Amino acid sequence: MQEMGLRESKKAATRLALATAVLRHASDGGLESVSVETVAAEVGVSARTFHNYFPSKEDALIYFVGVMLDRLADLIESRPGGEVLWDSVEYALTEIACDTEADPGQFLTLIRLLETEPTLADHKHSDGLAAEQKARFESVVGCRGESTDLGLYERLVFGNALVTLRVGLEMWSEGLAPHTDLREFLGEAFRLTKCGLSRPMSTPHP
């Protein structure tokens, strides 16, 4: 039984490593430029093994999206029940972006790819993932005693939080952030959005 658990754990780690490698290579020249052979060699497996895990590069990225969304939902669920949804989403997105075990730029790359790669939007598994994650997030907000549906308020919270994260990561990755600490800079970005952009940033960017 323990051996089976170790085997499944190793397979899960390999699956995530392959998906992460696809994302990393796609950040340079888009998904089309990614070589399955290069990704597989980097992780230490064969191209055939890659295809045992994922039928295509698109499947690998969609799997990565699912992992990120699952973690986002878990982090939101971990917050105190009385906390407003915006603060919970801010906490969750900041934790993922500032994860020291990952490249903070991964989230930015993923957002850009989802917007620019038509093959991802059209991919056969993307609709299923969207429906599954919608149900998961409806459950998350429902357990907080809020709407059991993703209504206007909930969609505005998630949508504006993602835009805030993207702008913050773009400025930080381009060296335009007035803070050297990513967490501090993202905190300022979320505060500005939360207060309705009624005041400028206290410290101008260089």
> How is the chain split into domains, by residue range?
56-194
Q: Please tell me the total number of residues recorded for the chain in this structure.
A: 206
pLDDT of residue 205: 47
pLDDT band at 18 (very low <50, low <70, confident <90, very high): very high
Residue 204's pLDDT is: 47
Cα 54 from chain centroid (whole Å): 19
pLDDT beyond 80 at 63: yes
User: Can you give the pTM of this predicted structure?
Assistant: 0.81
* Top-confidence residue, 99 or 205: 99
Pick the more confident residue, 133 or 48: 48
CA distances for 163 relative to 47, 159, 160, 168, 189, angstroms: 36, 6, 5, 8, 10
Query: What whole-number distance in Å separates Cα of residue 105 and Cα of residue 170?
Result: 8
Residue bearing tokens 């969207």: 130
CATH code matching the domain that covers 56-194, chosen among 3.30.160, 2.60.40, 1.10.357, 3.30.1490? 1.10.357
